[in-house]
Amino acid sequence: MNYAFLPDLSALAILIVILLLLRTRHSHKQADIWLLGLFVTLIESSAHIFYAKNGLPGRALHIIVLNCYLIAGVIFTWDPREHPLSVRVRLLYLAINTLPLLALNTLYGMHRFTPAPYIPVIIAGLIIAIASSIYFRRTWLVTLLHISGWLTIAFLTHTGHYRQAVYWSLCGVYAVATLKYKRLPRESTGKLAILTGFFTWSLCFFVHPFIVTYRSYADIASHVWNMQKALITIGMILVMLEEQVTSNEWLALHDHLTGLPNRRSFETHFATAISHCRRVNDHLVLLILDLNGFKKINDSFGHQAGDHVLRGVAQNLRENLPACNSLARLGGDEFTLIAPGVKDHDDLDQLLSTIQKAIEIPIHLNGQSFTISASLGIAIYPDDADEPAKLLSIADRRMYTLKQKPTVHTQVELNIAPPALL
């Protein structure tokens, strides 16, 4: 037994446990794939303990290690994002193209060093690559790469370079995995660690046939090989932590129900907008919108229905208002809108008409159709006031003045408190 691998194996196991614990606290779309691939890598690392210090490893161990290399690499190439093909179809495509490579690794692991047993595997690999690419409508580039790969394997086995055929095919799998992880967030530190690790992994497979007979170089490569496993795992942990921090920052500034900016975000943006208007001598309109009869919806249909209505109103407003306007939810059924650049009554009337149409869109839930009315208070900078707090107070007071007036809402309507002239 080769106990020199135990420290690296222990370090990898600890990092996998840390990643698993982090995944239970913070979900990540790629975490399950990462854990599965790292678990297969852990099996490969465990098998290395039983390798002889000199000479070829036992056939069973060699087969286990080579196929773990391949299976882990294939797992790491999986892309969990939305895809035109279904998950089932993609899994089938991946599985049938992996089978010939598993057979290739198994033959080499069994120490078969004659071309004859490899020929059927190569032919099957070529046929499967072409047929599956056509059937699953893969791009011509993917098809060409598959064919080129198998033709290269055929040439290497024909010339007796079996080790190159196996390890260079593994190099290709891990090169594909490296390209997949380029899609992680650009500024991520974890992404840099993962890409460095997978590139090193791929490079190790490429140089292995050249240095395996040189003991001193092979030992160095072995240390590099074990180092990058930890590097990749640390990179994955960093990616999850970075995403959690980003998520927490987003939640701190947004309403969790509607996804709109919250009061804290609104106050910051409103103060910034006022400062900008003050510098350029421009107007700004603040609108506070409060839904009428919202409490009755909660009392009659439950809070889930009320939440659905709030999400629906937020979505309708967000989709119909101009992008330059800043919509936020202050809390409850109260929304605010910051509209810069409103020059005259025509601009204001157009904005109010857009809000009216958005509010009038019915919201459907479980066969029920909710048609919402709202009261709207308006304050204008600098006509009404020149400070954010005063403008907010004026708009709020105008909105509540109208809301308290006895009105029977028989249809969708928007009560508008009269603003000062522009």
**pLDDT single digits (tens) 34-68:** 999 999 999 988 887 777 665 556 788 889 999 99
Which domain-ending residue is among 227, 252, 277? 252
Domain co-membership, 80 together with 179: yes
Does residue 61 sit within a domain? yes
Does residue 406 have a cis peptide bond before it, meaning omega lies within 30 degrees of 0? Answer: no
Q: Domain range holding 36?
A: 3-252
Residues composing the chain: 422
3-state helix, strand, coil in the chain (%, to 5): 65, 10, 25
Highest mean pLDDT pick, 106-120, 236-250, 355-369: 106-120
For residue 227, pLDDT beyond 90: no
Does residue 258 sit within a domain? no
Element (H, E) at 285: strand 284-292
Helix (H, G, I), strand (E, B) or coil at 133: helix
- Do 382 and 342 contact (CB within 8 A), yes or no? no
Domain co-membership, 109 together with 35: yes
Does residue 421 sit within a domain? no
Residue 336 DSSP symbol: E
Domain co-membership, 352 together with 234: no
Rg of the chain in Å (alpha carbons): 32
pLDDT single digits (tens) 306-348: 899 899 999 999 888 887 788 999 888 899 999 887 777 888 8
Does residue 120 sit within a domain? yes
**Facing residues of 370 across strands?**
363
For residue 162, which of 56, 47, 72, 60 has the smallest C-alpha distance?
A: 56
pLDDT tier for residue 392 given thresholds of 50, 70 and 90: very high
pLDDT single digits (tens) 157-186: 999 999 999 999 999 999 999 998 888 887
What's the pLDDT score for residue 205? 92
pLDDT tier for residue 407 given thresholds of 50, 70 and 90: low
Does residue 257 sit within a domain? no
